[in-house]
Structure formats: C-alpha cells, structure tokens
Chain A
Amino acid sequence: MTSDAFISIRNVDKFFGKFQAIDDVSIDIGHGEFFSLLGSSGCGKTTLLRMLAGFESPSSGEIYIDGQPMSEVPPHMRPVNMVFQSYAIFPHLDVRDNIAYGLRKQKLPKAKRDEMVDEMLELIKLPGYGDRKANELSGGQRQRIALARALILRPKVLLLDEPLGALDKQLREQMQLELRDLQRTVGITFVFVTHDQEEALTLSDRIAVMSEGRVLQMDSPTGLYERPSSRRVASFIGTMNFFDGTVSGVNGTSVEVAAEGLGTLRLDRRETAVAEGDKVQVAIRPEKLGISDSRPEGEGGRIEGTLENSAYLGERSHHYVRLDGLEKPVAVSAQNKENAIATADRARPIWLSWNEESLVLLAGD
C-alpha cells in the first residue's frame, strides 16, 4: 500500500488560525483509483482536496503525488486538475476557448488545438458545441465542459469538488454513470469530494469517511456498508439499528454479548478487540432483518415484538417494531418480493429474524 501509492498524504494537519480543519490525516491512493472523500459539510474534505490542488498548504505533514513532494509546488505546476463545485467556466470565453484554456503553453498550431478540443467535445458527448457562449449552457453541460477543460491537459490526477451537487436528481444519476465510464476510459486517478453517501457508494473504488478533520474509516463501499468500524460511520452511511450490550464471554473468535432488547447473541469478533465486561454496541442494517407474522424457522436469531408503524414505498416497505426494553423502535426494510406483510393498521405482534453474520460488533462510544 505504500510503494504503489500514487498519491500519498502523510500525517497532514491544517490550521486556520486556531481552528484545526485537518487532523493528522494519512491517505494512500493508488494509480487509476476512483477515491472519494465523504463527509458532511465542514468535515475537512474540501480543504484536503484544495491541498491536493495546491490552493492550501498543509500546516504540517507532506503530500506526495507520483513520488514527488508537493509542498513547494504551486498550483499551476502540479500534475493535477480540478473540477470546481461552481464549475468556474470562464464566462468571457466560448466553449472552445474554455476547453483549450490550459493549452496556451504547449504552443500548438491552431488546427491541432481545434482537433484536441473536438476530441474532448466528442468524449463528453457535446460535439458541435465549440462556438456556444458560456452563458448558453445548462448546468450539466457546464459540468462536462469543466471536465473536458481539465482532461485535455491529461492530468495524472483529476480532483472533483462535489461536481454533481448543482444538478437535479435525474441528471445527477445520469452524470454519475457517465463519470464512472469516463474514469474507466481515461484511466486516471479521480479524487472525488461529496457529502452524498449514495453517490460515493455508487462511484468509488474506495471511500474515506471524514468527520471533524479526521478520517474515521477508509474502505471499499461494501466494506464501509457491511463492516463499519464505528457508530458514526455506521449511522452516516445508510441507516443502522444499534443495541447497547455487554460482552458476557469471549471464546476464541466468537464473542457472546448480552444486548438490550435482543437477549444473548453470539457473534464473530472480526476486527473489534473486546474483553469480557466491555460495553459494546451491536448493530444491524434494517434490510438484514427478516419480518414475518409467524415464528420463523431455521438458523439464526429471532425475537417477537410489536409492529407499530409501517410505510409502504412500492418496491419495499419500512416497518418499525418495538421490542421489550428498548426506547426506540427497530427499523426494518423489507423487499416486497411476493407477499408483503400487511402494514400496521394498529399495533400487533410480529417476529423479527436475522443471520448472525449480519450483526456488526462496535466498540461502545
């Protein structure tokens, strides 16, 4: 992970006055990887991206790109290009001049330059748009022009600062797919900043979840979703049911936990190191819980509760089940495959079931 890292962020801190925006962050990003920085606003993800671009410099630590330390390299000398949140399309230039903006130093003949721009317009699926003025473009088109303007310079790294944030939902989903395709086509490293967890899960090879200037967890989308390392990550990505518990026994790789509401559970220890008597949390995703009117048979855990509330969403339903000894109802998301259980007109008994592997053991906060 260290030798083949293409971008290496090493123990970087960033202070704005007394405020610490970045707190000892180290990240390695591989060549050709689609890497996302995910977090709510103010978590430091944009600051980190701007440090990669060179608009901010680390207060301490070092950033290496392609093996070169970057702290003395100004933005215009870095092998990276950025797509800005506002797109930053030059309003006084037409589309062609916008895309060719960075080519000035290469001193190309006009024909060659035009050819490269036309190639780019082809790539971003806007052929023939070269003579449009910047203010004649829609949001999605601006976003693509901003991409083309960066990609024409063949950067080693493309930085994207919430590039889909300004688009409506439909266009967003379309652009997500196109962005992913584009990244595979051009094969360069993408560093993508977003606050939208779904977007990060869809696009990324790996994601760093950030909060208050720190990286909480860095993993693949599946890893983050299935094996969150803390309650904060678990609740930031998707929904999660949490149960307080106490470790009642450790036996090799398996752990016994007395969890409030669920009773005694046996789980795999996995990454979390625990000892008997530790306060822990057991978590499970709403869609990993089975729900049925009658007592389910077979392996795994089950418990009876009271169905309090349901929301029918077509493809699936959300149910809220109250268990004895718990304040908050448990959320269940059920696929309406064949026999959707009847929604709750009034409270009635119901059975919940789960596989032991779906349970996640988290250290207590």
Chain B
Amino acid sequence: MSSESYIRRPNRPLQVYAIVFLIVLYVPVLFIPLFSFNDSIYVRFPLEGFTVKWYVELFHREAVWNAFMNSVKVGAVVSVLSTALGIFGAKAITRYRFPGRGPLVGFIMLPLVVPLIIFGVALLVLFSQMGVPLSLYTVTIGHMIVCLPFSIATLLPRFEGFDPSLEEASADLGENAWWTFWRVTLPMVFPGVIASLMLCFTVSFDEFIMAFFLTGTQPTLPMYIWGQLRFPQEFPSVLALSSFIIAASFAIVFVGLWINRGAHVSTIKGD
C-alpha cells in the first residue's frame, strides 16, 4: 500500500464516474443500431423481433446509393484538399517565424468554435451574390472550412515533433526544397497525413449544417437522411443507414488515431 503514491492510488468514485460518463455518452447512440434490427416501424419498447429487412431494403434504394456516392465524392475531395492545405499550413506555422503567427493559428481554428450556421449562411450569401449555383462543389468548399482545423490540429504535432535539422541536413546534402519535402518532410509526417485524410473524410461525410445551406439538387447522405425523417415508414431504414455510418465513422477515426499514435513521442530527435 505504502508503495502506491497518492497520485497513483486507485480512486473508486472516479472510476464509477468515468463508467457512468461513458454510458451516458454512448448509450443513446447504441439505440440506433438496436432499433434498426427491430421488426416494427415504430421506435418503442418492447422490441418486436429481430429482422435485417431494413438493411436489405436500403440496398435496393437508388436514392440512398446516390446520396452515399455524393458524400463519398465530397468527402474524398475535401479530405485530400484540406490535408494538402493543412500540410502547407502546419509547415509554415512550425518552420517560419513571421508576424501574426499566433493569431493566424487562432483564425484557422475558428470554425471549431464559431457556430457553423454562421459560416453556412455567410457562404450561401456569398455564393448567391456571385451567382454561383449551389452544387456538390459549393458543399465541398464549405466542408473544407470545417475540415481545415482538424487537418491542422492533426498535423501540427507531427511537424513540431520532428527535428528541423533533418530538413537542414537534406538541404546540406544537396537537395532543394522540393526534393527535401518529398524525401524527408512528407515521410516524417506521413502518419499524420493519413490520420488527417481519415479524420477530414469522416467530418465531411457526417457534416449536416453546411450541407444544408450549400447543397443544390444532389443531396449528401446526411441531407438525404434528414429528408427521409418526414416519412414515418422510412424511419427504420434511416436507422439502418445511420448504424452503418456510426460503425464506419468509428472505424475510420480509430484507425486514423492508431496510425498517428505517438505523434509527439516517437519522432522527437529523429528517434
């Protein structure tokens, strides 16, 4: 007992609190998959038997597939562009000293705290003033604003975590900035790049508010789901679809975090 320090001693109430916290956080979410297997169009207890027919039905619906593919397209483009911008931004922030560096990081992170409805309305006004028709392109631009902070936040520790003299060594050994980037910088931050791609894809795939303002005639998946909520008989299918999205999102984010594990620890001083 005496060998356990005060800090390390197990704290029973805290453990209970942590478990309760996780339950409160995730149990509501778990109702979605639960009811998606329920053989009734009403979401209520008691459950009325196990079925997969809502899932089967999903696969035969053209509109679901269209919306799904729209979201995948937007997500793919957004993740690649945001991550590319994120790489340049994170490199600039960590490698160069320039006035206004601190405020700049704050500005980039702003979409995390400013309500997205404000960005959505602003972009909608902007696009309509410029005469740009709403389409998947406008959604893509909106999603990039949302995703850039995630990309930067994922990549910054990677850039901060590696010894700048690695890049200098590359220059010293005869490589210009372009080759140094491909041969040293990118391999060093690569786990962060993968993590950023996955995170941005997930964020874009799940995003509703921006899509709500900026979607034209082609809905993204969250927009489609929202549209279906008006029809009670469609609700179980929506639950099935949502279950898919939850599972896929969890998987992608966990894989991304796993790849990017030790962003700070493993790369310091090139170890």
Contacts and interface: CB of A to CB of B under 8 A. Distances in A.
Interface of A: 53-55, 74-77, 80-82, 84-92, 101-102, 104-105, 134-135, 149-150, 153
A90 B176 contact: no
Given A88-B163, A88-B165, A92-B187, A82 B271 contact: no
B173 A150 contact: yes
Given A76-B174, A84-B168, A135 B271 contact: yes
A88 B168 CA distance: 9
Contacts, number: 71
Contacts of B187: 92
B164 to A, nearest CB: 9
**Chain B interface residue number, banded:** 20 to 34
A134 B271 CA distance: 8
Contacts of A87: 270
Interface string B163-184: 1011011111111100100011
Nearest to B169: A88
A82 B176 contact: no
A193 to B, nearest CB: 14
Contacts of A76: 171-176
A53 to B, nearest CB: 6
Given A55-B168, A82-B169, A84-B168, A89 B174 contact: no
Interface in B181-219: 183-184, 187-188
Interface centre among B168, B169, B188 (most CB of A within 10 A): B169
Interface in B225-271: 267, 269-271
Nearest to A78: B172
A92 B183 CA distance: 10
A86 B172 contact: no
A91 B267 contact: yes
B173 A86 contact: no
A30 to B, nearest CB: 23
B174 A102 contact: yes
A91 B271 contact: yes
Contacts of A101: 170, 173, 175, 183
Contacts of B163: 86, 88
Most buried by A among B165, B170, B270: B270
Nearest to A159: B172
A362 to B, nearest CB: 39
Nearest to A91: B270
Contacts of A91: 188, 267, 270-271
> What are the nearest 8 A-B pairs in CB distance?
A102-B173, A88-B169, A75-B171, A88-B165, A91-B270, A92-B187, A84-B165, A82-B172
Contacts of B166: 88, 90
A81 B271 contact: no
Given A76-B174, A150-B173, A90 B184 contact: yes
A153 B173 contact: yes
B187 to A, nearest CB: 5
A87 B270 CA distance: 9
Contacts of A134: 270
A75 B168 contact: yes
Contacts of A149: 169, 173
24 contacts: A53-B168, A53-B172, A55-B168, A75-B168, A75-B172, A76-B172, A76-B174, A76-B176, A81-B172, A81-B173, A82-B169, A85-B165, A86-B270, A87-B270, A88-B165, A88-B169, A88-B270, A90-B169, A91-B267, A92-B187, A101-B173, A104-B179, A135-B271, A153-B174
Interface string B143-174: 00000000000000000000101101111111
B246 to A, nearest CB: 35
Contact of A92 (B175, B176, B188): B188
Nearest to B271: A135
Contacts of A53: 168, 172
A302 B229 CA distance: 106
Contacts of B271: 91, 135
Contacts of A105: 174
Max chain B C-beta neighbours (<10 A), residue from A77, A84, A134, A150: A84
Contacts of A92: 187-188
A167 to B, nearest CB: 15
A77 B172 CA distance: 8
Nearest to B175: A76
A271 to B, nearest CB: 39
A80 B176 CA distance: 15
A97 B271 CA distance: 16
B185 to A, nearest CB: 11
Nearest to B172: A82
Nearest to A80: B172
B113 to A, nearest CB: 33
A148 to B, nearest CB: 12
A86 B175 contact: no
B116 to A, nearest CB: 38
Contacts of A153: 173-174
B101 to A, nearest CB: 15
Most buried by A among B168, B179, B188: B168
Contacts of B172: 53-54, 75-76, 80-82, 150
